[in-house]
Amino acid sequence: MTFQQYIPIIVVGIGLIWIFIRSWRGQDVDRRIVFSFIGLTVALALIFQVMFGERATAIVRAAYDKIENLPEGSRILLSYDFDPAMAPEVHPMANSFIRHAMAKNHKLYLYSLWATGQTLLQESLTEVLEPEFPEKEYGKDWVVMGYKAGNEGVLNVIVTDIRKMYPTDVHNTSLDSLPIYDGVKSLKDFDLLISVGGGKPGVKEWVLFAGDRANVPVAGGSAAVSAPLLYPYYPRQLIGLLGGTKGAAEYESELIREYPRFADIDTPALRMMGPQTMAHVVIIAFILIGNVAYFRGKRKRRSEV
Amino acid sequence: MANSKNLMRIISAAVALAFVISWIFKSMNGMEDTTWLNVRQGALVTIAAFLTLSIYSFLYGDNPFYRFAEHLFVGVSAAYWMSLGFWSTIVGNLVPRTHPAIADFFQIAYSQDIPTYLRLIMIIPVVLGILLLLRLVPKVSWISRWPLAFIIGTTAGLNLPRYLQSDFIQQINNTFITMLPAWEGFGSFFSNFSFSASGQFAMIMSNIVIFVGVVCGLVYFFFSKEHRGWFGVASRIGIWVLMITFGASFGYTVMGRISLLVGRITFLFHDWLNIL
Amino acid sequence: MKRQIPLIIIMTVGWVLMVSVFVPPFESWGEEASLFFDIIAVFAFFLGGGNLIRVHFTKINRKSEGWGFSVVTVAGFAVMLILGLFKIGGSISAPVDTAGTPFELMFRYVMSPLQATMYSLLAFYVASASYRAFRARNIEATILLIAAFVILLGRTPFGFYLTAWIPESFSILEIPNMAVWIMNSPNLAGQRAIMIGIALGVISMSLRLLLGIERSYLGGD
Amino acid sequence: MTAKLYTTITAITITALSLLLLLIAAPHALLAQSDAVAESPDSATTAVAQVPDLGPILITVEDFPSDAGEALIIGWEDPGYVSLPDFIEYRVTRYTDDSDNGMVIGTSVLNPEVIDGEASHSIAHSYTVAAVFPDHEVISARSEPAMAEIQWVAADKYAVIIIGIFVCAAVIFFIETAKRGKTLFLRRIAGLEAIDEAVGRATEMGRPILFVAGIQDMDDVQTLAGLTILGRVARTVAQYDSKINMPCRASLVMTAGREVIKEAYNVAGRPDAYSDDMVHYVTDEQFGFVAATNGIMVREKPATCFYLGAFFAESLILAETGNSIEAIQIAGTAMPAQLPFFVAACDYTLIGEELFAASAYLSEEPRQLGSLKGQDVGKALAMIAIVVGGISVTLAQAWDIGLFQVIESALRTAFNIQLPVR
């Protein structure tokens, strides 16, 4: 963190101490102070671009380690199963997966079960994959398969034979002329399946219809609202999960920490997390201060009686 | 009193001036092509920013700016939903079933394959709708109870099986879970025992808590038995489980709420003031 | 008469629709009834809009306190209604909220900022409720507080750092894991108990309506 | 008198109907399994040179269960064509007469089954299934003509029907019991006892009462529950001569709210004091409604606020604004996600089921109270099922005890709501 990022933390810290002292003395803190405090916290954090070094929780770390520990040249499938509404939360996850897989020299296969996923996939290509990894060759190191209608029906087919559903890639090139598909017949030939999504079909469908049946590990990224529904599959059927902006931020910070080449990349999830984390800490502090003041007030009243 | 009114006038004038200046700056942004579009865009963003700040001013207390925004919001949104209801329900669903000429007028596809009885049946809601409007005639206003009765009957009739199926039976079915998942005998349980989050002990605890929690939660809702004795104990555990549920929902919701604020402040700083 | 006919309507419609769910050839009746409801609701819009205008006109007429704001409501309503009902600036065959029409601009730059800002007020109220309302007054409130606290902590980096020293064999005590556990176990149990209770409440309430026992909403004779 | 008649008639009708349903349902449910309508005779396969003859494609045509006679399931046995290198797909063709004018109704690669969703229940269809290769096809013989059948009872919903009848019968039984004058014990609910007191407080302070019946329309049962409580609140308001203000998000709720309050004023003997202005429509926009209600609160400063019905994100905005004007707040909702905010910020909260029970409690009418007793029977059923089910599943899965495996599968069948997907 640079020096200017400490400014909001110092300001907010002093403010919290002041509120604490006031409450401790039994003076009432006006709700307007509370309001302006939370507004100020978020505004300052945004202006000074506060970012915290997130630490990956076990469930995120598991996904990270899987990509990290696969032998070089492993086949990783990444599916874009989301729409623009969910994109702020989950798009950063997809970008992180691309970066990580490419940096580890894995082979990347990009799919989409949502019609809207394809345009978002294109964004990732023009903003991340192509500029950051110009040395990687299309058709050899990565390939775009695009969207096919049929939801989980698509999975039902490609779990035994990809060419039946996708005779060609998104540019109408036959799979047989793409070196990346040498020796790949079905999902069973992959080393890891990753779905990034927040609706249906999404991570759950990849687990049930693809991972379980092909016996290939599945990792996922999902919007915060649907993440709790996926926890039951972890760790057996789902080896790792990124939930919401927080999950995305944890992954980004792991990448930055362990890969010097990513030190200067744009990290939208971490940026979003800065103000949120500050606000959360303030709210936690409010609960604590409120309770301390409450118990002190109670003891005082009792001693007066 | 007069003083505060004058003060209000001064404040209003100052605010108005500030936003006009903001508009001018906004319009000049990207000077090379200061076209009419830029001026309009500047005005629209400035209005949006003004309304945003007007709502936030409510946090300080009621004031004319909030009142203005609130009244504008009510008027505009009522008309918005009215227009949407008209075009999507009346024109979108009713008109295609009436007559080709009417459908033609609204330039919407006339649905031909619908059998006649499905066309005629649409008279019912129209008649009921008209009966509802009879409320405006005091003498026969009681007739508006008929459409109300129709709606209440529909609500009751459709919701009973729906809730029975998805909230009652389905939820009971979901609770038929084993309390000893992946059980391979006591020996294996004790030899592999750990307090790991992904260990067997954690899984067993989870399922037992779900099982006990659901049953005790239901006991809490029991109406026809005094909550005393063992029943009282169970109902107490039930309340605790409910309280954990509420606490968890609270903690979980907070994050989403903060991101809404982040969104608004980003709008103010980035789209309006261009400082981010 | 005034009460009897509505009661008969409720019972007939209610029972018929309820049974139709279980008779495949009539399964679609529920959808039809929902469409009926939507159409009646549009007629009701006229009642509502008329009522809104009447309330504000009375205020303007009487020059009662704050009547100027009523002018704002009426004007906003009139402008938006004319833009919407006549699809000003758009073609009749295009959807009413086609991008670029005045109606859509009003939505994007007036209604939607108001909506989003009103919604975001929640961030402030969550903060003030945390300071003021979440206090460990009794056992129940304390339990609520602790659960909320663990989940909240689990969503910040501090939750991780606070308990990162705990070895893997005790990882259930790590705050992020505890947060997940609370969400998936006691929270799930509570939600389920509430849902089952609600289902029974709805069933019993519907039955009271369909049997004509509950009828306060129908007014008197 | 009439009410009694209605109750009896409906009770008889429901019992008769449900018995009838059961009678029809049972054989259907049993039959459905062995309901192979037609099986094709030996297929004359037209195999061509390059494709090895793997034998005929045998097809079956079955009725789609529990529908309105609109669908047939065409299934076949794959003799192994799927694994041939050039294989493209299986194609199913429907014929409505003896001619060769068929219509392709679907294709499938792996799943040996296609559902014809546009089959008729008055004309018989026959089908062929063809394994398609780049240059040629292997076609099965035509199936025997078959028709889709109308099922008059959704046999797949037998669990819902039977459990539904049990719960409804319990409710009706206790309504009847209560009517005969048997007093029933009911525990107290704190929020309800506070209502009168809260209204009284508003009268003393000379301030109005705010009532919000949720933000959903009349098609949500929670709104109806809120309105029934409104009846009781309004009666107290009329007796105490307080003022009530009810902003509505939907104009149908406004219409119903007016009926309720008007009737309450009539019952209280003060019809002249009622005015339509007590209930007014605001806007259908969720946050526009919240903005206006907030405005009402800070300007009129109601002494008591009721929030009873379906609420979403606005719950906390309303409750905190109410707090800032120091109003007594009584809330009730069946929205689990909003309950924590009401519990934390309001004085009393009706949790989930209590909202629906409230009107029965408040009416003090025996029949209404009886229905609550019926609800408890439903709860008891749920608890017994869960306890027996949980224990059986545990014993069955951990130690493979046969008896409990039987109980487990029996319970899973009884509480099964698997719906077939078309």
Quick one: CA dihedral C190, C192, C197, C202, positive or negative?
Answer: positive
> Quick one: pLDDT at residue D243?
92
Confidence category of residue A228, pLDDT binned at 50, 70, 90:
confident
Q: What is the pLDDT of residue D7?
A: 56
User: Are C145 and A291 within 8 A, CB to CB?
Assistant: yes
| Phi and psi at residue D98, to the nearest 5° | -80, -15
> Using a CB-CB distance cutoff of 8 angstroms, which residues of chain A are in contact with residue D324?
31
CB-closest option in C11, C24, C49 to D154: C24
Q: Is the pLDDT of residue C2 over 80?
A: no
Residue D122 has pLDDT above 60, yes or no: yes
Q: Is the pLDDT of residue D49 over 70?
A: no
Q: Which residue among D160, D357, D378 sits closest to B161, beta carbon to beta carbon?
A: D160
pLDDT of residue A58: 81
What does pLDDT average to over chain C? Answer: 89
Is C40 in contact with D252 (Cβ distance < 8 A)?
yes
Structure confidence at residue D39 (pLDDT):
43
pLDDT of residue B149: 93
- Give CA angle at D173 (D169, D179), nearest 5°: 150
Nearest to A52 among C131, C157, C164 (CB): C157
User: Min CA distance, B111 vs chain D (Å)?
Assistant: 19
CB spacing of B262 vs A42 below 8 angstroms: yes
Share above pLDDT 90 across residues of chain D, in percent, rounded to a whole number? 43
Contact status, residue B42 vs residue B23, Cβ threshold 8 Å: yes
The answer to whether the CB atoms of D280 and C51 lie below 8 A apart is yes
Query: DSSP letter at D68?
Result: B
Q: What percent of chain C has pLDDT over 70?
A: 98
Mean pLDDT in residue range B2-19: 85
Chain D contact for C110 (CB, 8 A cutoff):
no
Scanning every residue of chain A, which has its alpha carbon at the shortest distance from the alpha carbon of C175?
A57
Distance CA A146, CA A157 (A): 16
**3-class DSSP state of A104:** coil
Residue D86 clears pLDDT 70, i.e. is over it: yes
Q: Which chains touch A (3 or more CB pairs under 8 A)?
A: B, C, D
The stretch D39-60 carries a mean pLDDT of 63
DSSP state of D211: E
Q: pLDDT-based confidence at D336, cuts 50/70/90?
A: confident
Residue A45 banded pLDDT, cuts 50, 70, 90: very high
Higher pLDDT, B30 or C216: C216
Chain C residue whose CA is closest to B72: C73
pLDDT surpasses 70 at C6 = yes
Compare CB distances from B261 to A42, A244, A280 and report the shortest one's residue. Answer: A42
Residue D79 near residue D57, CB atoms below 8 Å: yes
Confidence of residue D35 (pLDDT cuts 50, 70, 90): very low
Cβ contact, residue pair A38, C157, below 8 Å: no
pLDDT in tens, D385-409: 999 999 999 999 888 888 999 998 8
More confidently predicted of B198 and B54 = B54
Provide ipTM, 2 decimals: 0.87
HEC string of chain B equals CHHHHHHHHHHHHHHHHHHHHHHHHHHHCCHHHCCHHHHHHHHHHHHHHHHHHHHHHHHCCCCHHHHHHHHHHHHHHHHHHHHHHHHHHHHHHHHHHCCHHHHHHCCCCCCCCCCHHHHHCCHHHHHHHHHHHHHHCHHHHHHHHHHHHHHHHHHHHHHHHHHHHHHHHHHHHHCCCCCCCCCCHHHHHHHCCCCCCCCHHHHHHHHHHHHHHHHHHHHHHCCCCCCCHHHHHHHHHHHHHHHHHHHHHHHHHHHHHHHHHHHHHHHHHHHHCCCC
Res B155: pLDDT: 92
Residue D179 tokens, joined: 């009517």
Subunit contact B55:C78, Cβ cutoff 8 A: no
Q: Predicted confidence band at D16 (pLDDT cuts at 50, 70, 90)?
A: low
Tens of pLDDT, residue by residue over C55-105, are 999 999 999 888 999 999 999 999 999 999 988 888 888 888 777 889 989
Cβ-Cβ pairs closer than 8 A, A with C, add up to 82
The answer to whether residue B75 scores a pLDDT higher than 90 is: yes
Is B73 in Cβ contact with C114 (below 8 Å)?
yes
Which residues lie across from D62 on neighbouring strands? Answer: D36, D73
Residue D420 in this model has a pLDDT that exceeds 50: no
Share of chain A above pLDDT 90, in %: 38
- What is the structure's pLDDT at D201? 92
Task: Tell me the pLDDT tens digit for each residue of C142-190.
Answer: 999 999 999 998 878 888 888 888 887 888 888 888 988 898 899 999 9
Size of interface B-C (CB pairs under 8 A): 414
Chain C neighbors of A1, CB-CB under 8 A: none
- Of D325, D260, D340, nearest to D295 by C-alpha is D325
Average pLDDT over residues C180-204: 92
The pair of structure tokens assigned to D370 is 């009886």
What is residue D34's predicted lDDT score, i.e. its pLDDT? 41
- Confidence bin at B247 (pLDDT 50/70/90): very high
Lowest-pLDDT range of B119-123, D84-88, D179-183: D84-88
> Is it the case that residue A304 has pLDDT exceeding 50?
yes
Residue-level pLDDT at D23? 46
Query: Per residue in B175-187, pLDDT tens?
Result: 998 888 878 888 8
Q: Which chain D residue shows the shortest CA-CA distance from A155?
A: D110
> pTM of this prediction?
0.86
pLDDT (average), residues D199-204? 92
Residue D106 backbone phi and psi in degrees, to 5? 175, 160
